[in-house]
Amino acid sequence: MTATIDIQRVKESRLAMLDFATLQFGKEFSDHMFVADCIDGVWQEPKIMPFGPLPSSPAQSALHYGQAIFEGMKAFRTADNQIQLFRPIDNFNRLNISAERMAMPPIPESIFMEGLLQLIKLDQAWVPAQEGYSLYIRPVYYATEEALGVRPSSSYRFVILTSPAGKYYADPVKVLVETEYTRASEGGMGYAKAAGNYGGSLHPTKMAKEKGYDQLIWMDAKEHRFAEESGTMNVMFVIDGKLVTPALSSSKLAGITRDSILKLAGSMNIPVEERNISVEELVAAHKAGHLQDAFGVGTAANLSPISLIGYEGKDYHLPPVAERAISNRLGDALNDIKYGNAADTFGWILKVN
């Protein structure tokens, strides 16, 4: 099945007004957006239209009961001026996993993929050519029924926005291990990319920022011992030459960049362990000189080195980024595939033009 998409173009592109030198993550939006509504379980004819406000009611149930989920993905411009998407089908699948958890109807693959491809084709001039830049793509799906009863909405809106972006973190990230608040518990909705998971993180993160940190490392909700993930990315460590990362569970987001890094590490014969990692283990490894690296991985963050980990009043500094052989190799290999400088032996790339 292919979706027929009505396309309404902008009268004049805003691209010429964009200043790449001052670009901030998620602040500039390209000319068009994709919009599809689902009413009483029936998908209406989707459209591509100029980016801008959409009518909404203050009674729409997403605002009251949080049926709102999203994805993060990217389009890259290659050296020979091709535009390519990285693992879009994995974002599609994860969006529907989140939808199921939030009692929202699944999005048909034809609507997601056709909408995505036609939107990126139309706004391909917005995919930056500068090194390290890309077009960030934000699919968002939310409940639109005007209703205050606590039950699934009868109508939903699926929108895809795009936004040219450089680095999410300009510098290595200072993270604080959060010892009071937790992000998600087993059986909760931590694995869903639900707006509420991010809303709940903002107050603890704000407090960490007031202490000079950029982000948190969340711990498990049951024992407050094991590292879960960071606010905008999954976390990975190198301990004694092994790449160690928290095993997935219902409280963690199954990051697509996380999965890509683990597959790349496997292909490079880097030993990988997916398991519980307690913060005491990290501190002990640091004291013994065995904690060689810590970094975050995510679509927006890409591979972001962590410069220090704060825990119970003490900062544990990591080695200089230039000395981090494993993550530098993995980050380069990932970027080479994304930007088309290396063969895509994993089948991750979808070419747009």
Closest distance between ligand COI and the C-beta of residue 226, in Å? 21
Residue 297 vs 308, nearer CB to ligand COI: 297
Element (H, E) at 326: helix 325-338
CA dihedral 118, 84, 234, 176 (to 10 degrees): -90
Residue 246 vs 298, nearer CB to ligand COI: 298
Q: Is 299 one of the binding residues for ligand COI (CB under 6 A)?
A: yes
Closest distance between ligand COI and the C-beta of residue 46, in Å? 22
Residue 292 vs 299, nearer CB to ligand COI: 299
Closest distance between ligand COI and the C-beta of residue 254, in Å? 13
How far is the C-alpha of 31 from the C-alpha of 25, rounded, in Å?
16
Let me know: does 151 contact 103? Beta carbons within 8 Å.
Answer: no
Residues 6+ apart with CB under 8 A from 203: 181
Residues 6+ apart with CB under 8 A from 228: 183, 184, 190, 217, 218, 219, 220, 246, 251, 252
How far is the C-alpha of 128 from the C-alpha of 147, rounded, in Å?
41
Q: Give the residue carrying structure tokens 């292909």.
A: 267
Residue 233 vs 291, nearer CB to ligand COI: 233
Q: Out of 139, 246, 296, 298, which residue is the one contacting ligand COI (CB under 6 A)? A: 298
Secondary-structure percent of the chain, ordered helix, strand, coil, rounded to 5: 25, 30, 45
> How many residues bind to ligand COI according to rule CB under 6 A?
7
Site for ligand COI in 180-209 (CB under 6 A): 198
Candidates 48-56, 298-306, 311-319, 337-345 — which segment interacts with ligand COI by CB under 6 A?
A: 298-306
Q: Is 305 one of the binding residues for ligand COI (CB under 6 A)?
A: no
Q: Is 232 one of the binding residues for ligand COI (CB under 6 A)?
A: yes
Site for ligand COI in 133-172 (CB under 6 A): none
Residues that bind ligand COI (CB under 6 A): 72, 198, 232, 298-301
